[in-house]
Amino acid sequence: MNQELRMLYEQDQADRQGEFHPDILERDRKRRQRVEELLATEAIQTAEDYFHAALVFQHGEQLEDYWKAHELAKKAAEMGHATGRWLAAAAYDRWLMNQGKPQKYGTQYTSRDGGLFTLWEVDPSTTDEERAEWNVPPLAEALRRTEEINRKHPQQKKNQ
């Protein structure tokens, strides 16, 4: 496993815990740039490396970032990473969502209506069996999760 890539992944995750970092976008950009450099030098070799790289790109800003996250996560899954399939599906959903299209699997949420979270529109032709193939829970579970998130964060409801 590439230790520098693991560190970049851990920094990415730490930036999303606790307090909001006002410079998070710039930090994300620098991490993506470094991961690009590591990819170019073929320093990314293991399933874990591909998963870590995919998650860094999942927090990108452009369609190309989300697509790269999808491709890297698929590679991680092909190499046996347990969570790679789910991340490939989530990155694909984010790629669709950022084009204003319905997501396929139902992994992406958005804040609407005064701060309440909702599941981004989901393509109704996708079955729970397809979701299961990508380690994504059934749609009903995703909808329950929306309710749970809104219950756990009642302060968002007050801001309406």
Residues 6+ apart with CB under 8 A from 26: none
Q: What is the largest CA-CA distance in the chain?
A: 50
Its domain, for residue 134, covers: 102-160
What is the pLDDT, as a whole number, of residue 86?
Answer: 97
Do 1 and 76 lie in one domain? The reply is yes
For residue 156, the model assigns a pLDDT of 44
pLDDT value of residue 117: 86
Task: Examine the domain organization and report whether 80 and 114 are in the same domain.
Answer: no
> Which residue numbers in the chain have pLDDT < 50?
156-160
Predicted confidence (pLDDT) per residue in 48-77, tens digit:
999 999 999 999 999 999 999 999 999 999
Helices (H) and strands (E) in the chain, counts: 8, 2
Residue corresponding to tokens 């669709």: 96
Q: What is the pLDDT of residue 30?
A: 96
Last residue of a domain, one of 59, 83, 100: 100
Asked whether the beta carbons of 110 and 122 are under 8 A apart, the reply is no
Tell me what pLDDT residue 141 has: 94
Q: Does one domain contain both 82 and 51?
A: yes
**pTM given for the model:** 0.87
Q: How many domains does the chain have?
A: 2
The per-residue pLDDT for 75 is 97
Write down the pLDDT at residue 100: 96
